């Protein structure tokens, strides 16, 4: 069993206890332990085999440690089976629906006998849900909407989840007999925000079938769907499907190009190839002899023009190599032909992070911890942007608390040198578009991130007016997570984004690409549009703990997919230029 499976089981245990109404402290114990397990760099199986004491891990107490050992040895936790005798495990899925939560899931089960999404849908449609006290018609409608969203997305995995879920498999594959090279292809190589399945490409000039068999023997596989000479497919315990192709060295580049896709990109390339009298497939590029019918030719027939390297494939078509993140058939082939591909942003271009939280609101670490973590990541500047007070559950900054925080920032500036720490705040955009902070505080802040965190269901005109009003305030620097979407969980709210982007360009307000892989908001297409409209984009992690700062790479990937160059991104500016930009309106 892998760490991710242990973490998932602990999470489910927490969910079940929460549905059961267990005390919050116990629920949190499981959740915190799940998070610890998730972040471990070593395998729990190895640690237990070595006789290590798991209670030495952060947030793992005696109870949870015993559960983990039991889970690793027997595949189940007996305590969990007891809870499941009372609360069906399928209710956990209901709590993942936006607007359902543990208390409501329990009541749906107790009062209507609902255990599954299908049953909930039926009950919401035939009016049983709205009759429950505390639900009502609005709530039933919201539930139906989130079921639709859930269905639409359930089949795709977020990229960060998929990455985590295949780490064990990649390690396992490194031991495959005769393996010469292994690369992730498909949508994951193109760094799409979600993946339908994972595509692996292996190079082997010997016994390819042995590589496929090794793949099928992965202990974390739930089942093997296909096991052939050059092809395999397994479904992991998480439900994630993984395809494998094995090719010889002479076809490596052609196969990598083919299986990276996108299909639409490759089809466009193939049209170019046909035009040049070239046949292109996953085995290579071949010259079609005068008068020959390409349809009648064998897969590797004809003079081989390219195949062993991807660069060679593009070169044979008279094109420079195209970055995988651009291969979506969004004009990149034409741009390549005309030598006007963007010089994409790279992770090293990022010099700071302007959106993060600390213990002054819902962050887990002190300002000093966050500052040291930013220094460790080589940043030149950062902003502490704790929430304002309207979001009651995060214990945000009142004006008085904000002033005390500024004193603390001054203190940290004294002890953590080598980085500029800006005074910031993630100020709530209230229902009517006003900001949740008085003028004297807004004027004393270096960085104001304005974000919507409430009343997501306003109609488009109202929401657009609300956000426009907020960004017209001259003290606002950044529009935080502009569409409010949570991947696979919450749709973007209704808003005329085009109008908001146009206003941001005119007002010189930056729009955020929130790098948290649950959000990635704005998305790739939106930031590309922002760039075209001349809006500055800022890539921020919204970190709530030091490790959260490492999400920056997910944001950079999406920015690259949106064709952004370093010059398009605010937090690539050196510190003097950032300071000047923040002071652009004299506040």
Residues forming contacts to Zn ion in the complex (CB under 5 A) are 451
294 binds, among ligand DGT, Ca ion, Zn ion, none (CB under 5 to 8 A by kind): none
Contact window for ligand DGT (CB under 6 A) among 253-261, 344-352, 400-408, 426-434: 253-261
523 binds, among ligand DGT, Ca ion, Zn ion, none (CB under 5 to 8 A by kind): none
Q: Are 245 and 255 in contact (CB under 8 A)?
A: yes
Asked if 284 touches ligand DGT (CB under 6 A), the answer is no
CA 573/CA 454 separation, integer angstroms: 32
Asked if residue 323 binds Ca ion (CB under 5 A), the reply is: no
Q: Nearer to ligand DGT by C-beta: 165 or 356?
A: 165
Size of site (CB under 5 A) for Ca ion: 5
Residue 583, number of CB atoms within 10 A of its CB:
10
Contacting ligand DGT (CB under 6 A), which of 2, 199, 426, 568?
199
* Strand partners of residue 513: 539
Q: Which is nearer to Ca ion, 541 or 558 (CB)?
A: 558
Looking at beta carbons only, is 95 or 262 nearer to ligand DGT? Answer: 262
CA-based end-to-end distance of the chain: 55
Say which entry of Ca ion, ligand DGT, Zn ion, none residue 451 contacts (CB below 5 to 8 A, set by partner kind).
Zn ion
Length of the chain: 587
CA distance 463 to 452: 9
Residue whose structure tokens are 């879920």:
165
Secondary structure percentages of the chain, helix, strand, coil, to 5: 50, 15, 35
Q: Give the shortest CB-240-to-ligand DGT separation in angstroms.
A: 11
- Tracing tokens 């900054």 back to the chain, one arrives at 397
Determine the Cα–Cα distance for residues 551 and 416; give it in Å rounded to an integer: 23
Query: Please, what is the minimum distance in Å from the beta carbon of residue 271 to ligand DGT?
Result: 11
SS3 category, 270: helix
- Lay out the site mask for ligand DGT across 411-440 (x = CB under 6 A, - = otherwise): ------------------------------
Its sign, for the CA torsion 1, 93, 148, 432, is: negative
CB atoms within 10 A of CB 81: 10
Give the nearer residue to ligand DGT in terms of CB position, either 259 or 422.
259
Q: State the minimum distance, in angstroms, from the CB of residue 426 to Zn ion.
A: 5
Strand partners, 387: 426
Nearer CB in complex with ligand DGT: 258/381: 258
Spacing of C-alpha 570 from chain mean position: 21
Residues 439-458 that bind Ca ion (CB under 5 A): none
* Residue with token string 């607007």: 99
Binding span for ligand DGT by CB under 6 A among 122-130, 207-215, 263-271, 348-356: 263-271
263 binds, among ligand DGT, Ca ion, Zn ion, none (CB under 5 to 8 A by kind): ligand DGT
* Strand 181-185 with 198-203, pairing: antiparallel
Closest CA to 221 of 41, 72, 2: 2
Q: Can you tell me the distance from the alpha carbon of 532 to that of 218, in angstroms, rounded to the nearest whole number?
A: 46
Which among 35-43, 196-204, 305-313, 549-557 is the span making contact with ligand DGT, rule CB under 6 A? 196-204
Q: Quick check: 297 and 279 in contact, CB under 8 A?
A: yes
Cα dihedral sign, 515-519-523-526: negative
How far is it, in rounded angstroms, from Cα 324 to Cα 580?
A: 35
Binding mask 204-243 for Ca ion (x = CB under 5 A): ---------------------------------------x
262 lines the binding site for ligand DGT (CB under 6 A): yes
Contacting Ca ion (CB under 5 A), which of 161, 199, 310, 446? 199
What does the alpha-carbon distance between residue 397 and residue 388 come to, in Å, rounded to a whole number?
5
Stretch that binds ligand DGT, among 56-64, 259-267, 373-381, 496-504 (CB under 6 A): 259-267
| Residue 196 is a binding residue for ligand DGT (CB under 6 A) | yes
User: Is there binding between residue 197 and Ca ion (CB under 5 A)?
Assistant: yes
Site map 175..194 versus ligand DGT, x via CB under 6 A: -----------xx----x--
User: Which H, E and C letters describe 71-90, residue by residue?
Assistant: HHHHCCCHHHHHHHHHCCCC
Which of 266, 451, 464, 514 contacts ligand DGT by CB under 6 A? 266
Residue 31 CB-half CA count within 13 A? 11
Strand 241-247 relative to strand 231-236, pairing:
antiparallel
Of 261, 284, 324, 480, the one binding ligand DGT (CB under 6 A) is: 261
**Does residue 259 bind ligand DGT (CB under 6 A)?**
yes
Q: How many residues bind ligand DGT (CB under 6 A)?
A: 14
Torsion of CA 318, 324, 328, 329, to 10 degrees: -10
Minimal distance, residue 249 CB to ligand DGT, in Å: 20
Contact between 57 and 143 under an 8 Å Cβ cutoff? The reply is no
Q: How far is the CB of 200 from ligand DGT (least distance, A)?
A: 11
For residue 446, the minimal CB distance to Zn ion (Å) is 18
Single residue of 114, 195, 354, 543 touching ligand DGT by CB under 6 A: 195
Decide if residue 233 touches ligand DGT (CB under 6 A). no
- The contact set with Ca ion (CB under 5 A) reads 186-187, 197, 199, 243
Q: Where does this chain bind ligand DGT (CB under 6 A)? A: 186-187, 192, 195-197, 199, 258-259, 261-263, 266-267
């Amino acid at each position: 069993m892998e760490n991710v499976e242990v973490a998932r089981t602990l999470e489910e245990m927490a969910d079940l206890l929460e549905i059961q109404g267990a005390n919050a402290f116990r629920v949190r114990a499981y959740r915190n332990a799940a998070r610890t397990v998730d972040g471990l760099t070593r395998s729990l199986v190895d640690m237990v085999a070595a006789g290590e004491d798991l209670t030495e891990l952060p947030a793992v107490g005696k109870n949870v440690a015993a559960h983990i050992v039991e889970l690793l040895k027997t595949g189940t936790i007996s305590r969990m089976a007891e809870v499941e005798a009372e609360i069906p495990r399928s209710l956990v899925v209901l709590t993942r629906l936006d607007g359902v939560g543990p208390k409501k899931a329990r009541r749906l089960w107790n009062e209507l006998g609902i255990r599954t999404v299908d049953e909930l849908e039926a009950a919401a449609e035939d009016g049983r849900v709205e009759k429950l006290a505390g639900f009502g018609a609005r709530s039933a409608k919201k539930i139906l909407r989130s079921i639709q969203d859930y269905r639409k997305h359930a089949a795709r995995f977020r990229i960060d989840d998929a990455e985590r879920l295949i780490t064990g498999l990649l390690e396992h594959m490194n031991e495959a007999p005769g393996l010469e090279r292994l690369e992730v292809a498909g949508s994951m190589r193109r760094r799409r925000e979600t993946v339908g399945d994972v595509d692996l490409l292996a190079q082997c000039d010997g016994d390819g079938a042995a590589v496929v068999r090794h793949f099928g023997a992965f202990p974390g596989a739930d089942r093997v769907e296909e096991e052939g000479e050059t092809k395999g497919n397994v479904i992991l315990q998480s439900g994630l499907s993984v395809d494998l192709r094995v090719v010889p060295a002479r076809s490596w580049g052609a196969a990598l190009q083919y299986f990276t896709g996108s299909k639409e990109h490759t089809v466009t390339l193939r049209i170019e190839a046909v035009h040049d009298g070239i046949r292109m497939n996953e085995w290579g590029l071949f010259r079609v002899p005068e008068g020959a019918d390409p349809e009648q030719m064998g897969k590797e027939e004809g003079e081989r023009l390219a195949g062993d390297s991807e660069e060679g494939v593009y070169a044979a078509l008279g094109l420079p190599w195209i970055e995988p993140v651009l291969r979506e058939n969004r004009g990149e082939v034409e741009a390549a032909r005309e030598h006007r591909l963007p010089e994409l942003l790279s992770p090293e271009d990022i010099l700071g992070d302007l959106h993060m939280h600390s213990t002054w609101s819902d962050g887990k670490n002190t300002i000093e911890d966050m500052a040291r973590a930013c220094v460790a990541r080589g940043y030149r500047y950062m902003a502490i942007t704790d929430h304002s007070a309207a979001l009651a559950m995060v214990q945000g900054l009142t004006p008085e608390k904000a002033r005390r925080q500024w004193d603390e920032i001054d203190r940290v500036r004294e002890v953590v040198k080598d980085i500029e720490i800006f005074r910031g705040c993630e100020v709530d955009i209230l229902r009517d578009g006003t900001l949740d902070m008085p003028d004297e505080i807004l004027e004393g802040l270096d960085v104001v991130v304005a974000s919507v965190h409430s009343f997501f269901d306003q109609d488009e005109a109202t929401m657009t007016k609300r956000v426009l009003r907020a960004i017209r305030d001259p003290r606002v620097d950044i529009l935080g997570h502009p569409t409010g979407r949570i991947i696979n969980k919450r749709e973007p709210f209704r808003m005329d984004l085009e109008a908001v982007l146009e206003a941001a360009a005119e007002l010189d307000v930056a729009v955020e690409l929130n790098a948290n892989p649950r959000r990635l908001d704005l998305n790739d297409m939106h930031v590309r549009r922002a760039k075209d409209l001349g809006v500055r984009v800022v890539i921020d992690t919204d970190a709530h703990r030091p490790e959260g700062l490492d999400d920056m790479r997910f944001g950079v990937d999406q920015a690259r997919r949106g064709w952004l160059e370093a010059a398009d991104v605010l937090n690539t500016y050196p510190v003097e230029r950032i300071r000047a930009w923040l002071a652009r309106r004299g506040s």
